[in-house]
Amino acid sequence: MKVLYVVHQYPPEFIGGVEVYTEELAQAILQRGWQVGVFHRSYSQEKFQKVRQLGGLPIFSISVGALSPSQRFLSTWRQPAIDDFWKKTLDQFKPDLVHIQHLMGLPESILERLTQLDIPYIITLWDYWWVCANANLLTNYSQTACHGPRFFLNCTRCVVARSGQPATWIASPLLLGLLLDRNRRLNNLLRGAMRLLSPSIFVRDWYKRHGVPQNHIHIVRPGVTPLTQPRSYRKPRGEEIRFLYVGGLAPNKGVHILLEALRKVKGKFQLSIVGDISAHPHYANLLHRMADERVTFLGKADRLDVWRAFADADAVAVPSLWHETFCLVAHEALAVGTPVLASEMGALTEAIRDGVNGLLLPPGDIEAWRIALQQLVDNPQILDRMRSQMTAPLYFEQHVDHIENIYREILEG
């Protein structure tokens, strides 16, 4: 049987959570005897259509050149070059099932074509893109968490803010119509899927509140594959506490909140920050200015080094200012027995049990974070107690079992 994955970006051109997950899932399903392919958009300046073998499976890649934010938004409607390459891909690969990981930057006609050909598809709801064109529920005008479209008035404000042209408000009735049409089209595509997979209860409930039937959404939590073993020793009192941040260096990740709180913490500690400084250079520069000698920026790291960092840390911080839909970082840290300090919002509240395997703290509240961090520096035995209360993680192979069962149910049902 053949399964084709569709994703907006793919390694090695782009390394991100959804992209790495798609690559790992494709390899795992391939190892189980399926024929597997991947279709993705490239954001290269060069225009091309190509098929290459990577990791034992065909990768169908297309680039129609770089996109501005406005072009990426409009790409949902029509992209003739991508439509044409998609038809060629379907003719060549002939999938029995298509699994959509992300459709950002790709036209919705991809799914319309599947419906015409009677090819079943499923969609994983990794973020809020199917309702929020920003995908992360953060507003363009204030970079704060959005509470939803509100008759698409909030969405219109975001479009105007992103354009950088206040006069765009003159066209707001047209923008509103465009947003309504986007929502209608994408909602219909969601309803046409054989399954909608959600990584968390939070995401399932959010989509339910925005018009997607709850019984159409199945919770399938991603699994992890630890590359290192949990640390077994206890930290002696008075020894330096090692905090760790791993992830994107972008404002919505709240790293500035963590740094501001730590500046006021007394005692022995260090913070290591693992993340790419090139994606948001202005924000990265701000973080460097805020950091003191107790903070080390390690830049990007490979997977093994990240797992080692998780195991060596005394606590991992996830100070997000947006509604995380799963947060792989938190789950990976917990998998090697490292407690997590996280913002009390989104799916983080499903992974972290306050006072048991970590702490849940008010998002953006510098003083609350300072108090919690100071408490851990002063009383490291709290971390030892949390470490002793960890439970076994859901492993990636167990997750793949679940995904494969879904594929078989659809194709054999």
- The stretch 235-242 carries a mean pLDDT of 73
Q: How far apart are CA 118 and CA 412, in angstroms?
A: 15
Say if residue 6's pLDDT is above 50.
yes
Q: Are residues 186 and 289 in the same domain?
A: no
User: What confidence tens digit (pLDDT) does each residue in 247-273 have?
Assistant: 989 999 999 999 999 999 999 999 999
Q: What is the pLDDT of residue 166?
A: 55
Say if residue 162's pLDDT is above 80.
no
Q: Are 3 and 25 in contact (CB under 8 A)?
A: no
Say if residue 238's pLDDT is above 60.
no
Q: Are residues 181 and 206 in the same domain?
A: yes
Confidence bin at 167 (pLDDT 50/70/90): very low
Any domain includes 170: yes
Percent with pLDDT over 70 in the chain: 90
Query: CB neighbours (10 Å) of residue 136?
Result: 18
Q: Which helix (H) or strand (E) holds 378?
A: helix 366-378
Say if residue 235's pLDDT is above 60.
no
User: What confidence tens digit (pLDDT) does each residue in 370-394 have?
Assistant: 999 999 999 999 999 999 999 988 9
Q: Are residues 274 and 339 in the same domain?
A: yes
DSSP for residue 392: P
> Which residues in 147-214 belong to E strands, given as ranges?
195-198
> DSSP secondary structure string, 208-244?
HHTT--GGGEEE----B--SSPPP-SPPPTTSPEEEE
DSSP for residue 322: S
Say if residue 35's pLDDT is above 80.
yes
Q: Are residues 13 and 94 in the same domain?
A: yes
Any domain includes 232: no
Q: What is the pLDDT of residue 87?
A: 97
How many independent structural domains does the chain possess? 2
Q: Are residues 374 and 402 in the same domain?
A: no
Q: Are residues 32 and 112 in the same domain?
A: yes
CA distances from 101 to 17, 106, 215, 326, 330 (A): 11, 12, 20, 14, 21
Q: How far apart are CA 294 and CA 373, in angstroms?
A: 14
Query: CB neighbours (10 Å) of residue 356?
Result: 13
Q: Are residues 55 and 201 in the same domain?
A: yes
Any domain includes 235: no
> DSSP secondary structure string, 138-149?
B-TTT-SB----
Q: Are residues 47 and 110 in the same domain?
A: yes
Say if residue 338's pLDDT is above 70.
yes
Q: Are residues 42 and 169 in the same domain?
A: yes
Q: How far apart are CA 36 and CA 60, in angstroms?
A: 11
> DSSP secondary structure string, 264-284?
T--SSEEEEEES-SSSSHHHH
Q: How far apart are CA 33 and CA 262, in angstroms?
A: 50
Q: Are residues 345 and 382 in the same domain?
A: yes
Q: How far apart are CA 41 and CA 60, in angstroms?
A: 8
Q: How far apart are CA 276 and CA 256, in angstroms?
A: 15
- The stretch 145-164 carries a mean pLDDT of 66
Q: Are 195 and 171 in contact (CB under 8 A)?
A: no
Any domain includes 233: no
CA distances from 152 to 87, 168, 245, 330, 403 (A): 33, 16, 35, 32, 34
Any domain includes 229: no
Average pLDDT, rounded, for the chain: 89
Q: How far apart are CA 252 and CA 263, in angstroms?
A: 20
Q: How far apart are CA 66 and CA 171, in angstroms?
A: 26
Q: What is the pLDDT of residue 45?
A: 83
Q: Which domain holds residue 248?
A: 241-388
Q: What share of the chain is helix, strand, coil (3-state, %, to 5)?
A: 40, 20, 40
Name the nearest CA neighbour of 225 among 327, 332, 330. Answer: 332
Which is more confident, 348 or 64? 348
Q: Are residues 253 and 184 in the same domain?
A: no
Q: Are residues 216 and 344 in the same domain?
A: no
Q: Are 153 and 132 in contact (CB under 8 A)?
A: no
Whole-prediction pTM value? 0.89
Token pair, residue 264, equals 């006021």
* Residues paired with 195 in a beta bridge: 122
Confidence bin at 134 (pLDDT 50/70/90): confident
DSSP 3-state assignment of 185? helix
CATH number, domain with residue 401: 3.40.50.2000
